[in-house]
């Protein structure tokens, strides 16, 4: 079992690095259950985010993971499942 865990801080960093942050969105606020579209991230930005997660964490994300994970909480849980660790924010 892996000891590497994907956290909300990891996700926020990768989102900012890959697609930036919409001026009207505070990624430092309570965003775990906010939809990615509400946060200003559409499918292309999420594909870039997925690619960065794959490279950094050495996993492969199915396309379904990115389309089915509508919130940061859901994406973090899916990535941690692939990493073999419990989901945590």
**83 closest CA partner among 9, 5, 14, 7:** 5
Tokens 């940061």, residue? 72
67's tokens: 């389309």
Cβ 76 vs Cβ 8: under 8 Å: yes
Taking 50 as the threshold, does the pLDDT of residue 1 lie above it?
Answer: no
Tokens 């990115």, residue? 66
Predicted pLDDT of residue 22: 63
Residues 5-60 have pLDDT tens digits of 999 999 999 998 887 766 666 788 889 999 999 998 888 889 999 999 999 999 99
pLDDT band at 63 (very low <50, low <70, confident <90, very high): confident
φ and ψ at residue 72, rounded to 5 degrees: -55, -40
Q: Give the Cα separation of 44 and 50 in Å (integer).
A: 10
Predicted pLDDT of residue 57: 95
């Amino acid at each position: 079992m892996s000891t590497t865990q994907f956290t909300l801080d990891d996700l926020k960093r990768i989102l900012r690095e890959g697609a930036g942050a919409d001026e009207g969105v505070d990624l430092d606020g309570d965003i775990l259950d906010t939809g990615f579209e509400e946060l200003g991230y559409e499918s292309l930005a999420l594909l870039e985010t997925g690619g960065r997660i794959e490279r950094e964490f050495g996993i492969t994300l199915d396309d379904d993971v990115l389309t089915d994970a509508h919130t940061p909480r859901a994406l973090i849980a899916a990535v941690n499942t692939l990493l073999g660790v419990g989901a945590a924010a």
